[in-house]
Amino acid sequence: MLPRITRLGTVLSRERAVERAVAAAGIDPALSVLITLHTAGGPLRVGEIAARMQVVGPHVTRQVGDPERRGLVHRVADPADQRARLVELVPEGADAVGRYLREVLGWFSGAMASWSETDRADLTRPLGRMVGDHTAQVDEPS
Given this model, what pLDDT does residue 29 score? 64
Percent share of the chain, pLDDT over 70: 91
Mean pLDDT of 22-47: 85
What are the backbone dihedrals phi and psi of residue 78, each rounded to the nearest 5 degrees, phi first?
A: -80, 120
Given this model, what pLDDT does residue 53 score? 86
- Assign 46 a pLDDT band (cuts: 50, 70, 90): very high
pLDDT in tens, 50-84: 988 888 888 888 889 989 999 999 999 999 998 89
What sections of the chain are H helices per DSSP?
2-15, 17-25, 31-40, 46-53, 57-69, 91-111, 117-139
| Cβ 21 vs Cβ 103: under 8 Å | yes
Q: Is the pTM of this model over 0.85?
A: no
Rounded to a whole number of angstroms, the distance between the first and last alpha carbons of the chain is 26
More confident residue, 111 or 2: 111
Q: Is the pLDDT of residue 141 over 70?
A: no
Secondary structure of residue 104 in the 3-state scheme: helix
For the chain, list the domains and their CATH numbers. 16-101 (1.10.10.10)
